[in-house]
Amino acid sequence: MPLIEKIESKSGTIGIWELSESADDLLKNCQLHLADLERFNSFRAEKRRREFLASRLTLQQIFPGYPEISYTKSSGKPVFKDSDLNISITHSANLAAVIISDEPVGIDIEQLDRNIEKVVTRFVAPSEMDFIKKGSHPQLAKIMLWAAKEAIYKCSGMLGIQFNEQIIIDPFDYTAGNEFSGKLIHPSGTIKYRLNYHLIKNNVLVYCVEK
Ligand SMILES: CC(C)(COP(=O)(O)OP(=O)(O)OC[C@H]1O[C@@H](n2cnc3c(N)ncnc32)[C@H](O)[C@@H]1OP(=O)(O)O)[C@@H](O)C(=O)NCCC(=O)NCCS
């Protein structure tokens, strides 16, 4: 079973799954709630079927007997039915990851070699450019900012967020530690987040909780 890592952190429990098996093979070991079976049957693409099943198999391992998941109509954010626990899900080409937490939570995984030059100005604030340029690994810094902002976006459940203006990541020394902070600026108030990053199999995984 390719659950390749389980992380118990103060933000929650994270499971990371390596996407190495076919959807048919994954399905053999997957116990799906009826709603998930219907959702799964609506997917045609092999990649989508694999990543969906991988998220459920990850849950089976980190949260045996996990409750049914529904998706909010407004944003598509996954939520547990009949549970106070929070969930967030992410996938990349070769990994899937899930976090469960007592706190509102978000997770995102991105491949380190992803070319995001074309969208940099859409998601990086001018104040964050220094952080990228002054560090020793500009590509890592860019991908980390991207993943951090996606994680915050998922955690918030809000729509229409301008990443380069409304989500700001505080500069930090990513060679010295894996914890950092950021905020979402919204007319209803500013929300602060604690974030962590984790490098795994040519991906950067970022997860966040509200502070
Ligand atoms: C929805 C979105 C966050 C998904 O992120 P992604 O990197 O494409 O894909 P990931 O694999 O990391 O995440 C997918 C999972 O996110 C979850 N998700 C989808 N929409 C969500 C939302 N609004 N809030 C929280 N979680 C969400 C789902 O669980 C989904 O997996 P599942 O369908 O298998 O359960 C992303 O497509 C998006 O819309 N981002 C904001 C776009 C934007 O404004 N970007 C501006 C920067 S230039």
**Residue 68 Cα to ligand 1 middle (Å):** 19
On whether both 117 and 197 belong to a single domain, the answer is yes
On whether both 114 and 165 belong to a single domain, the answer is yes
On whether both 129 and 196 belong to a single domain, the answer is yes
**Residue 169 Cα to ligand 1 middle (Å):** 19
On whether both 116 and 146 belong to a single domain, the answer is yes
On whether both 82 and 167 belong to a single domain, the answer is no
Name residues of the chain where pLDDT drops below 50: none
On whether both 127 and 96 belong to a single domain, the answer is no
Instruction: Pick the last residue of a domain from 71, 89, 104.
Output: 104
**Residue 64 Cα to ligand 1 middle (Å):** 25
**Residue 24 Cα to ligand 1 middle (Å):** 25
On whether both 162 and 136 belong to a single domain, the answer is yes
Instruction: Pick the last residue of a domain from 104, 125, 142.
Output: 104
Per-residue pLDDT tens over the stretch 135-158: 999 999 999 999 999 999 999 999
Whose C-alpha lies nearest to ligand 1, atom 37?
150
Domain count, the chain: 2
On whether both 56 and 95 belong to a single domain, the answer is yes
On whether both 156 and 135 belong to a single domain, the answer is yes
Whose C-alpha lies nearest to ligand 1, atom 31?
89
Residue numbers of the domain that contains 90: 3-104
d(CA 75, CA 80): 15
On whether both 138 and 205 belong to a single domain, the answer is yes
Taking the model in full, what pTM does it have?
A: 0.97
pLDDT at residue 1, as a whole number: 61
On whether both 100 and 193 belong to a single domain, the answer is no
Q: Which atom of ligand 1 is nearest to the CA of 157?
A: 24
User: Is the CB of 142 inside a 6 Å radius of any atom of ligand 1?
Assistant: no
Nearest to residue 198, comparing CAs of 169, 177, 168, 167?
177
Instruction: Pick the last residue of a domain from 104, 139, 173.
Output: 104
User: What is the CATH classification number for the domain harbouring 135?
Assistant: 3.90.470
